[in-house]
């Protein structure tokens, strides 16, 4: 392998943002893109978000989804690093895609609203990161507003997410009293002026907090900072690169995305600490990021690719340019480990598929995730059963939704991680398969894939739980339950049966 190749791989950082809606992901993304010099793109992120807020009309939302769903990677350069920021759709767009994006990243950035602490969506996304021991850097946002105390925020993260926190910066006051942050490792004070964007060059180096300059700069809050830092020295975990890279510890920064405060400090740490593209497991061997021969896996299928409009027998093509908003990436000439490329799909590509030059490989770790929302599909015209089945199977293969067929009847049950997936399926069934259907509610709230090495036990389990069992689109036995409690109860009763929350693709 050439030195050049190795350098290209080593300077790449491929990551995604995990956060709950409104924590500040869009705002932070914009600031990151600005540091990367991608000014036009930053505007586009905002416009996209505005469009989302402005509309409740389905058609408009669809149109707008055409952009938001397809703009899956933002590429920018920062210092000598090439950063790939993978979009993790939130808000109404929250779906299995959001989870799956996290199977393609080498690290993640967690954004927390200082007034809210850890919220549900963050918790769910963090579960996916935990499965893969993804290293995570935390940015606690909105320090310009009143929020929880920094210590409470750290213990909330540690307790709720089971990850050790190592603060790398520390806030001085908050809300109206927010004076800035103190970088514990660089021993630098960065002062905050509302409405004025601050850069690390404006930081004041403070070798000793006893320095009277600290009092000049912070007034009565100087002693508060000294006390906090003294407390931290005794109580906080020191940063440990190994722990971070294993996903056991998260370095924490405080700031305010909208004021661009603390963002570059975090970005600097990110490019230095976050891992370059990592090795990947396949069913036969580990693939090194430095291998010259191309290999890649499918983690997302965009609607922006060519789609077959079966009823009218034509291919419908959504403009290539919208596939990757970052740059004109339609003609990618070279790509290195960690890069995301788009290929046309004519209905043959499935989530989890592997592409290689020659060697047959199958990457692992791109699973399906247990759905949390369910609907029963009812046809308006019973003569269309064949089309419905074909459509649902294809959409399930594409990863747009999960399909379950109960053992005891001929229902079609759809499962999703985000409810908007259902609307998308309905409109696509109509447009692409000519099927008119409606949804009925169904009393399921969770699902697990069943595994058991003991054939006898499995048969007994199947016999006694028929009413809750279904086959997914790939023929795997699944258990559907009306509540987490029910699921837990059943799992307790059947200790020899494994209830899996994720499933690898065949
Ligand atoms: P999201 O993508 O995670 O959903 O969050 P987004 O960036 O859209 O931010 C959600 C709201 O929080 C926005 O306000 C945004 O301006 C605000 N916000 C982001 N960062 C900060 C911060 O550091 N401090 C404060 N005080 N607010 C912040 P909005 O009113 O919903 O939208 P907008 O009209 O301001 O765009």
Q: What's the 3-state SS for 428-494?
A: HHHHHHCCCEEEEECCCCEEEEEECCCHHHHHHHHHHCHHHEEEECCCCEEEEECCHHHHHHHHHHC
Higher pLDDT, 96 or 53: 96
In degrees, to the nearest 5, what angle opens at C-alpha 363 toward C-alphas 361 and 365? 165
Give the Å distance between the CA of 133 and the centre of ligand 1.
Answer: 29
What would the mean pLDDT of 32-39 be, rounded to a whole number? 76
**Residue nearest atom 4 of ligand 1, based on CA coordinates:** 22
Q: For the purposes of burial, counting CB atoms within 10 Å of the CB of 187, is it exposed (0-12), middle (13-18) or buried (19 or more)?
A: middle
Q: Which atom of ligand 1 is nearest to the CA of 23?
A: 3
Write the DSSP string, 139-168: EEE-TTS--S-HHHHHHHHHHHH--EEEES
pLDDT at 340 exceeding the cut of 60: yes
Cβ–Cβ < 8 Å for 99, 369: yes
**Which pLDDT belongs to residue 322?**
36
Q: For the purposes of burial, counting CB atoms within 10 Å of the CB of 331, is it exposed (0-12), middle (13-18) or buried (19 or more)?
A: exposed
* Cα 87 to Cα 98: distance, rounded to the nearest angstrom: 8
Ligand 1 mutation target, pool 16, 21, 24, most atoms within 8 A of CB? 24
Give the Å distance between the CA of 142 and the centre of ligand 1.
Answer: 8
Give the Å distance between the CA of 24 and the centre of ligand 1.
Answer: 5
Higher pLDDT, 67 or 270: 270
Question: What does the DSSP 8-state code read for residue 405?
Answer: E
List, for residues 364-387, the tens digit of each pLDDT value: 888 889 999 999 999 988 888 999
* C-beta of 31 in contact with ligand 1 (< 6 A): no
What would the mean pLDDT of 198-210 be, rounded to a whole number? 77
Tell me phi and psi for residue 345, to 5 degrees: -120, 125
* C-beta of 20 in contact with ligand 1 (< 6 A): no
Polymer length in residues for the chain? 506
Q: For the purposes of burial, counting CB atoms within 10 Å of the CB of 235, is it exposed (0-12), middle (13-18) or buried (19 or more)?
A: exposed
* Cα 410 to Cα 476: distance, rounded to the nearest angstrom: 16
**Which pLDDT belongs to residue 96?**
86
**Which pLDDT belongs to residue 484?**
94
List, for residues 100-147, the tens digit of each pLDDT value: 899 999 999 999 999 999 999 999 999 999 989 999 999 999 999 999
Most confident of 44-58, 84-98, 216-230, 306-320: 216-230
pLDDT at 312 exceeding the cut of 80: no
**Which pLDDT belongs to residue 33?**
84
pLDDT at 307 exceeding the cut of 60: no
Tell me phi and psi for residue 48, to 5 degrees: -60, -45
Give the Å distance between the CA of 257 and the centre of ligand 1.
Answer: 8
Nearest to 449 by CA among 415, 476, 468, 413: 476
Domains, the chain, ranges and CATH?
Answer: 17-60+105-273 (3.40.50.300), 367-504 (3.30.70.3280)
List, for residues 422-477, the tens digit of each pLDDT value: 988 998 899 889 999 999 999 999 999 999 999 999 999 999 999 999 999 989 99
Average pLDDT, the chain: 85
Question: What does the DSSP 8-state code read for residue 352?
Answer: T
pLDDT band at residue 309 using 50, 70 and 90 as cut-offs: low
Ligand 1 mutation target, pool 22, 34, 54, most atoms within 8 A of CB? 22
pLDDT at 392 exceeding the cut of 90: yes
* C-beta of 256 in contact with ligand 1 (< 6 A): yes
* C-beta of 145 in contact with ligand 1 (< 6 A): yes
Q: Which residues contact 396 (CB under 8 A, 6 or more apart)?
A: 402, 403, 472, 473
* C-beta of 22 in contact with ligand 1 (< 6 A): yes
Nearest to 112 by CA among 229, 255, 261: 255
List, for residues 264-303, the tens digit of each pLDDT value: 999 999 999 999 999 999 989 999 999 988 888 888 876 5
How many whole angstroms from its chain centre is CA 344?
Answer: 23
pLDDT at 85 exceeding the cut of 80: yes
* C-beta of 276 in contact with ligand 1 (< 6 A): no
Strands (E) located in 330-457? 354-356, 368-369, 373-379, 402-406, 412-416, 437-441, 446-451
**Residue nearest atom 29 of ligand 1, based on CA coordinates:** 22
**Residue nearest atom 27 of ligand 1, based on CA coordinates:** 142
Extract the tokens encoding 456.
């006898």
What would the mean pLDDT of 491-505 be, rounded to a whole number? 92
**Which pLDDT belongs to residue 342?**
76
**Which pLDDT belongs to residue 316?**
57
Give the Å distance between the CA of 95 and the centre of ligand 1.
Answer: 22
Cβ–Cβ < 8 Å for 304, 70: yes
Q: For the purposes of burial, counting CB atoms within 10 Å of the CB of 156, is it exposed (0-12), middle (13-18) or buried (19 or more)?
A: middle
pLDDT band at residue 485 using 50, 70 and 90 as cut-offs: very high
Give the Å distance between the CA of 26 and the centre of ligand 1.
Answer: 8
* C-beta of 26 in contact with ligand 1 (< 6 A): yes
Ligand 1 mutation target, pool 16, 17, 27, most atoms within 8 A of CB? 27
Would the pTM count as exceeding 0.95?
Answer: no
Higher pLDDT, 495 or 199: 495
Nearest to 324 by CA among 50, 67, 104: 67
For residues 371, 376, 381, 384, the Cα torsion angle rounded to the nearest 10 degrees is 40
Q: Residue by residue, what is the 3-state secondary structure of 68-130?
A: HCCCCEEEEEECCEEEEEECCCCHHHCCHHHHHHCCCCCEEEEEEECCCECCHHHHHHHHHHH
Nearest to 73 by CA among 378, 324, 358: 324
**Which pLDDT belongs to residue 206?**
85
**Which pLDDT belongs to residue 38?**
62
* C-beta of 21 in contact with ligand 1 (< 6 A): yes
Higher pLDDT, 260 or 317: 260
Higher pLDDT, 342 or 167: 167
Q: For the purposes of burial, counting CB atoms within 10 Å of the CB of 382, is it exposed (0-12), middle (13-18) or buried (19 or more)?
A: exposed
Helix axes 120-132, 150-161, angle to 10 degrees: 60
pLDDT band at residue 194 using 50, 70 and 90 as cut-offs: confident
* C-beta of 23 in contact with ligand 1 (< 6 A): yes
* C-beta of 142 in contact with ligand 1 (< 6 A): yes
* C-beta of 122 in contact with ligand 1 (< 6 A): no
């Amino acid at each position: 392998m050439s030195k050049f190749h190795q350098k290209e791989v080593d300077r790449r950082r491929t990551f995604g943002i995990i956060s709950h809606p409104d924590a500040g992901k869009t705002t932070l993304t914009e600031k990151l893109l600005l540091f990367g010099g991608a000014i036009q793109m930053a505007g586009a992120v905002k416009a996209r978000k505005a469009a989302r807020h402005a509309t409740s009309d389905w058609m408009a939302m669809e149109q707008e989804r055409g952009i938001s769903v397809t703009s899956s990677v933002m590429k920018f350069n920062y210092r000598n690093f090439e950063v790939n920021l993978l979009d993790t759709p939130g808000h109404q767009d929250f779906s299995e895609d959001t989870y799956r994006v996290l199977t393609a990243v080498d690290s993640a950035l967690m954004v927390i609203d200082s007034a809210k602490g850890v919220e549900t969506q963050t918790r769910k996304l963090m579960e996916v990161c935990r499965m893969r021991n993804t290293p995570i850097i935390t940015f606690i946002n909105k320090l310009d507003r009143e929020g929880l105390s920094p210590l409470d925020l750290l213990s909330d993260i540690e307790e709720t997410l089971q990850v050790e926190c190592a603060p790398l910066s520390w806030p001085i006051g908050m809300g109206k009293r927010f004076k800035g942050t103190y970088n514990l490792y660089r021993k630098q004070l960065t002062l905050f002026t509302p409405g004025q964007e601050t850069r690390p060059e404006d930081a004041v180096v403070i070798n000793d907090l006893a320095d009277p300059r600290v009092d000049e700069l912070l007034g009565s809050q100087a002693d508060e900072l000294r006390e906090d830092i003294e407390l931290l020295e005794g109580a906080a975990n020191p940063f440990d690169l190994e722990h971070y890279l294993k996903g056991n510890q998260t370095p924490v920064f405080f700031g305010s995305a909208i004021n661009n405060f603390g963002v570059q400090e975090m970005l600097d740490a990110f490019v230095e600490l976050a891992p370059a593209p990592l090795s990947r497991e396949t069913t036969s061997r580990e693939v090194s990021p430095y291998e010259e021969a191309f290999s890649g896996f499918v983690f997302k299928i965009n609607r922006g690719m060519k789609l077959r409009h079966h009823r009218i027998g034509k291919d419908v093509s959504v403009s290539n340019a919208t596939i990757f908003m970052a740059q004109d990436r339609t003609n990618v000439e070279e790509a290195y480990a960690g890069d995301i490329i788009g290929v046309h799909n004519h209905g043959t590509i499935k989530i989890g598929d592997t592409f290689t030059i020659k060697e047959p490989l199958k990457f692992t770790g791109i699973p399906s995730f247990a759905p949390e929302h369910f609907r029963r599909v009812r046809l308006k015209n019973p003569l269309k059963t064949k089309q419905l089945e074909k459509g649902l199977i294809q959409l399930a293969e594409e990863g747009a939704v999960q399909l379950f067929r109960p053992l005891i009847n001929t229902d079609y049950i759809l499962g999703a991680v985000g409810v908007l997936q259902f609307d998308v399926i309905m409109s696509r069934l109509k447009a692409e398969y000519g099927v008119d259907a409606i949804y009925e509610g169904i009393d399921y709230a969770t699902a697990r894939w069943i595994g058991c090495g003991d054939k006898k036990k499995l048969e007994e389990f199947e016999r006694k739980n028929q009413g809750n069992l279904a086959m997914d689109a790939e023929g795997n036995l699944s258990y559907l339950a009306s509540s987490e409690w029910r699921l837990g109860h059943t799992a307790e009763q059947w200790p020899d049966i494994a209830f899996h929350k994720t499933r690898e693709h065949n």
